[in-house]
Amino acid sequence: MNVTCRIVNLQEEYSGLYNDHQSLLQSGAPDKMNALRAKGMEVFEKLGIPSNKVEDYKYTNLQPFFKGSLNIAFTNESAHTDVTEHFHCEVPQLKTYNIFLVNGWYSHQNDVSELPEGVIVGSIQEKANEYPELFEKYYGETAPCETDGMVAMNTAFAQDGAFIYVPKGVVVDRPIQMVNVMTGNADRLVFQRNLVIVEENSQVKMMMCDHTMTPNKFVVNNVTEIFANENSVFDVCNVQNQHNLTTQVAGLYVHQKKHSNILTNHLTLHAGLARNNIRVTMADEHCESHMYGLYLSDKNQHVDNFTFIDHVKANCQSNELFKGVMDDAATGAFTGRVLVRKDAQQTNAYQSNNNLLLMESAKINSRPQLEIYADDVKCSHGATVGQLDDEAMFYLRARGISEPEARILLMYAFAYEVIEKIRVEPLKEQIRDLVERRFRGELDKCDSCVVCGQVGTNVSCL
């Protein structure tokens, strides 16, 4: 069932929408999801959709983007859309377990029959009912529903998403690729909730790809909770490649146990407005966290990365590096908070944000933050904002390289450090190619793309 609503007064309208469709929202959902749903709406009615008057959203006012006529899918009708023939992975020598989600609903066209024994992949709504002990233990335990209006809104409205469980001692032999597809013949508001559980001594890599198939306005509120248990290794690479009418608020919340190792890489290649909330809680000793990001913006696009690494216990290490390239009238923001609590002695924490502005009209706001309450730590943070190096440009031009080509080489050299952190070699090669093509003004083929004006029958996923 699709419902189109005209949003004017945000809190009142969304509260009314929630009350009018409670039966649909709760239908088929487990008890804990519905209990937290009610709590989420209660918090949302207090906090609302953030404007730039909210400190954590200082550089991004989300309220205008959630107004207007938006179509919401309260049932999984759109999940039956056949997207598998439109999307195919074009990464050479990379075989993945592919799962598709359409407008926030898990598509049952996926083939995950070859997954290692014990690994569970499916619809979060369905798997929550099949495995209630897992769902009740983890769902809603790390995403900050009580302090973030967008998480509260997602908790209230999200009905489906992906559920991924890797049991103890299992090494998943190839990456799990989650393709998030936005499609339809009307402007849409999409909610999606994902839950990933990696048990002790397990290893898994994930690729999350965000795409738009039709030239409509899409507003997306996506929350992913990840639990990396003792001695686990987890990698996730999120690639955002959406058209200019897309507004995406993507929350990634990671909870780490002892001796776990996680790597996150967030690549915003194209989006109208992208707000990425990334929070890592190192809740035990000897955790290791690596957080990297690359954002490329032009025209009037806006990218806002908000990160928070919470060192709760001693003997943990975190490395964070985000880089941005801004062109035309694009705007961006980076807020990176590293908190070292009193008990987090012997912490090593390093954070850096570097930005390249190609034109005077491009703007970036950078706020690295380091908050330390322990006295035996090694921590540093910093930020840079600059333009292409004139001496390097002169060096390349003196060797017969044209100015446009020299600019591309310098931009690619700037982005190279983040790309090299990807720990899946075939994927790393493909990202190198995509970034270079992005710098050259080229785009992947897309179906009725409002950015490039091309109409294609296939969409290349990564």
- For the chain, the structural domain boundaries read 2-388
Please tell me the predicted confidence (pLDDT) of residue 65: 95
Question: What's the 3-state SS for 104-151?
Answer: CEECCCCCCCCCCCCCEEEEHHHHHHHCHHHHHHHCCCCCCCCCCHHH
Is the pLDDT reported for residue 88 higher than 70?
Answer: no
Per-residue buried b or exposed e for 337-366, using 16+ beta carbons within 10 Å of the residue's own CB: bbbbbeebbebbbebbbbbbbbeeebbbbb
Q: What is the pLDDT of residue 1?
A: 64
Residues 37-83 pLDDT 10s: 999 999 999 999 999 999 999 999 999 999 988 999 888 876 566 66
Binned at pLDDT 50, 70 and 90, residue 108 comes out as: confident
Higher pLDDT: 2 or 178? It is: 178
Kindly report, residue by residue over 168-201, the tens digit of the pLDDT: 999 999 999 999 999 988 999 999 999 999 999 9
**pLDDT at residue 119 greater than cutoff 50:** yes
Residue 462: pLDDT band by 50, 70, 90 thresholds?
A: low
CB atoms within 10 A of CB 303: 26
User: Considering the chain, what is the average pLDDT of its residues?
Assistant: 91
Q: Are 284 and 255 in contact (CB under 8 A)?
A: no
CA distance 239 to 434: 10
Q: How confident is the model at residue 87 (pLDDT cuts 50, 70, 90)?
A: low
| Cα 339 from Cα 367, distance rounded (Å) | 14
Instruction: For Cα atoms 31, 36, 42, give the angle at the middle one, nearest 5 degrees.
Output: 135
Place of tokens 């009209």: 361
CA distance 66 to 54: 16
* CB contact set of 156 (below 8 Å; sequence gap of 6+): 18, 25, 37, 38, 40, 41, 44
Give phi and psi for 143, each to the nearest 5: -75, 130
**What is the model's pLDDT at position 451?**
34
pLDDT single digits (tens) 322-368 = 999 999 999 999 999 999 999 999 999 999 999 999 999 999 999 99
Angstrom CA distances, 139 to 32, 132, 230, 245, stand at: 8, 10, 18, 31
Q: Is the dihedral of CA 136, 142, 146, 150 positive or negative?
A: negative
Tell me the two tokens of residue 322.
């985000």
Run of H or E residues at 179? strand 176-182
**What's the pLDDT score for residue 68?**
86
Q: Which of 89, 148, 450 is nearest to 308 (CA)?
A: 148
